[in-house]
Amino acid sequence: MIHPESRLIDKSLRETEFRSNLDVHVFGLRRAKQAVENFKDVKLRSADSLFVVGPWSKIHQLQSRTHDFIVTELPSEQAEIVPSYRRMPIALMILTAMVLLTLFDVIPLVPAVMLASLAAIFTRCLTMEDAYRAIHWSSLVLVAGMLPLADALDKTGGTRLIVDALMNATGDAGPYMMLTLIFFLTAGLGLVLSNTASAVLVAPIAIYTAAAIGVSPYPFAVAVLIAASAAYSTPVSTPVVTLVVDPGGYKFTDFVKVGVPLLLLTYVVTLFITPLVFPFNPS
């Protein structure tokens, strides 16, 4: 909209060389709620509305010229603009370097992630303010609180107590039954604990159980790893799931409806594939 004090008043778009000077194209002119035909040679008046098209940067320049224009409306697509899309190649290079450094054991995972975060900030792919806003503090508190609980159960003898109860309940059950129990024990704990805490808690149980029935501990350890990451049925099962609850507007029942079938499917695949890759009795 033309500002009442605009320098363009009483001048036509052609006279002001609107497109050449502002790098936006005027597609229409509206005056008193009526479209004006052949508007390029019409003298502009205060409160005339222009429909313009151009690069986002030029549209923002119009917003800055407050004495000439009033930008009254922007397309909804503006909210989808990636603010630092020009730095996407740098961000991809940082991500690739982090993965390669971790994959080839050049440096441990945590330092690699920290270095990648610092590189993203130093190259302006990410600002410190954006980084702080991206942290989901409730997930950090959840993980930090559950890890000491797993250590406490192990040090106080809770782990051995669970193993003994498991062995007494199953008796002479075969390795497949024990693998099933270990899987669902891990997945069950993962519904209320973090996946890291569940794996730390059940891994000693799984290894001790495998030794007690005289089979290899590898399939049991793999089952624990998969089950710890397969607790899809509650929003607190893993920090990754917890992160999407608020932005996605999900309910608790949404995770139950989708998570239970996924959990059963994961169990079936684990039960049949894991012993093939890691046999109970390797020769």
> What are the extents of the domains in the chain?
13-80, 86-134, 139-277
Q: What is the pLDDT of residue 81?
A: 58
Return the sign of the alpha-carbon dihedral for residues 243, 94, 97, 105.
negative
Q: What is the pLDDT of residue 269?
A: 93
Q: Are 162 and 210 in contact (CB under 8 A)?
A: no
Each residue of 166-196: b (16+ CB within 10 Å) or e?
bbeeeeeeebeebbbbbbebbbebbbebbbb
Fold of 13-80: Alpha-Beta Plaits (3.30.70)
Return the sign of the alpha-carbon dihedral for residues 211, 212, 214, 220.
negative
Nearest 5°: the CA angle 89, 134, 241 is 100
Beta bridge partners of 28: 51
Q: What is the pLDDT of residue 146?
A: 64
Residue whose pair of structure tokens reads 């309910």 in the numeric block: 251
* Rounded-to-integer distance, Cα 75 and Cα 53, Å: 10
Q: What is the pLDDT of residue 202?
A: 82
Taking only the tens of pLDDT, the chain with its 283 residues reads 888 888 888 888 888 887 888 888 888 888 888 888 888 888 888 888 888 888 877 777 777 777 788 887 776 666 555 567 788 899 999 999 999 998 888 888 889 999 998 898 888 888 877 777 777 676 677 667 666 776 777 778 776 777 777 777 776 677 888 889 889 988 888 777 767 777 777 887 888 788 878 888 899 999 998 998 887 777 776 666 777 777 777 887 888 888 889 889 999 999 999 988 888 887 6
Q: Is 230 exposed, middle or buried (0-12, 13-18, 19+ CB in 10 A)?
A: buried
